[in-house]
Structure 1
Amino acid sequence: MTKALERREKLRVDLIRAAEQMIAERGLSGLKTRDLAREIGCANGAVYNLVADVDELVLRVGSRTLHRLDEALSAAESTGNPSPQETLVRIAIAYCDFAAENLELWRALFEHRMAADKILPDWSVNDQLQLFRHIYHPLALLLPERGREELGITARSLFSAVHGMVALGLEQRLVAVPLPALRKEIAGLVRAMIDGLVARAK
């Protein structure tokens, strides 16, 4: 790699990290390219020599967030030798804790909207889809008679239920739920859903 390319790559990494910090502090709506350019020491227009547009920048930050979430879920399921049901409970609670500790970055994953005619890049789609293995694998052990497609739908449904509880529970409004209570309710929901799915399968 030439010196020029090395400098460009370093500046690009600095830009993504600065954007990550800005979103963490201000939320997605507070992301301003002019402020980012000033932060990393380049002209405002030079930002678009480093990323194609703001969409790519937000997706790159989202990719970093998803990788850290992946690490948090992996850590939650790797301690001891939990049952498949308990693994699902652990990763659900880990998801809740990650969201609470990284609130604005987590929100940005779901708040960001691209234009209807823009296609989500493959690398971003893969970053999202690979997280579902944390749900899919324990479900496959609990429901061995289900096919891959049906398990995938069940995994997404279970995620949607937990995500909905986390999203509402962490709202800074009347529906907010204290974190210890939210963890307990999420654990109860996951256990009830799994018990129901296994009972129906029998």
Structure 2
Amino acid sequence: MSKTMERRDRLRDALIGAAEQTIAAKGLAGLKSRDLAREIGCSNGAVFNLVESMDELVLRVGSRTLAKLDAALSAAEGGAAHTPGETLVRIADAYCEFAAQNLELWRALFEHRMEPGRAIPDWVIAEQMHLFRHIHQPLVALFPQRTPLDLGITARSLFSAVHGMVLLGLEQKLIAVPIDALRSEIATMVRAMVRGLTAAP
């Protein structure tokens, strides 16, 4: 690799890191290309030689966030020591904890909207779908007779329920719920859903 390419890669990594820190501190609204250029020591125009657009930059930061979330969920699974139902509870709890500890980066995953006419790249969708294995695998153990399509729908429904509770619970408004109480309520909800699903004919 040439020195020019090495320098470009270093600058690109610095840009993504600076964007990550900015989003973590100020949210998506605080992300400005000129401020990032100043921070990493390049011109504003040079930023767009490192990434195609601000959309791509936000997606690259999101990729880092998803990787950290993936690691947190993997750690929560705890191997084979737990029942599938309890594994789902641990995953949901870890998701809530991750969101609370990385609030603005987590919010950015869902708040970012692509510019009109731009589609979400396939690699982003693949990374997002890869995380569903944490829900899918316990569901396979609970419902071995169900089709992959049915399990996929159940996984998305379970995620939507947990995500909705986390999203509303962490809102810094009147509806906000203390984190310990929120985690307890999420565990109760997931256990109730598992009991209902396993009891259903």
TM category (shorter chain) comes to over 0.9
1:181 matched residue in structure 2 = 181
1:132 matched residue in structure 2 = 132
Rounded to whole Å, the distance in 2 between the matches of 1:30 and 1:137 is 38
SS of the residue aligned with 2:132? helix
2:117 matched residue in structure 1 = 117
Rounded to whole Å, the distance in 2 between the matches of 1:79 and 1:101 is 24
Q: Could you state the TM-score of these two structures normalised by the residue count of structure 1? A: 0.98
Alignment of 1:53-202 (within 5 A): 53-78=53-78, 81-201=81-201
SS of the residue aligned with 1:118? coil
**CA-atom RMSD in angstroms:** 0.9
Deviations 1:16-60 (A, max 9, x none): 000000000000011000000000000000000000000000000
Amino acid at match of 1:187: A
1:34 matched residue in structure 2 = 34
Residue 197 of structure 1 deviates from its aligned partner by: 0.4
Query: Identity across aligned pairs (percent)?
Result: 67
Rounded to whole Å, the distance in 2 between the matches of 1:18 and 1:137 is 35
Residue 126 of structure 1 deviates from its aligned partner by: 0.9
Moved over 3 A (4+): none
Rounded to whole Å, the distance in 2 between the matches of 1:145 and 1:177 is 38
- State whether residues 89 and 191 of structure 2, in contact with CA within 8 Å, keep that contact through their aligned partners in structure 1: yes
Count of aligned pairs between the two proteins? 201
Residue 122 of structure 1 deviates from its aligned partner by: 1.4
Deviations 1:136-181 (A, max 9, x none): 0000110111100110010000000000000000000000000000
1:13 matched residue in structure 2 = 13
Unaligned 5+ runs, structure 2: none
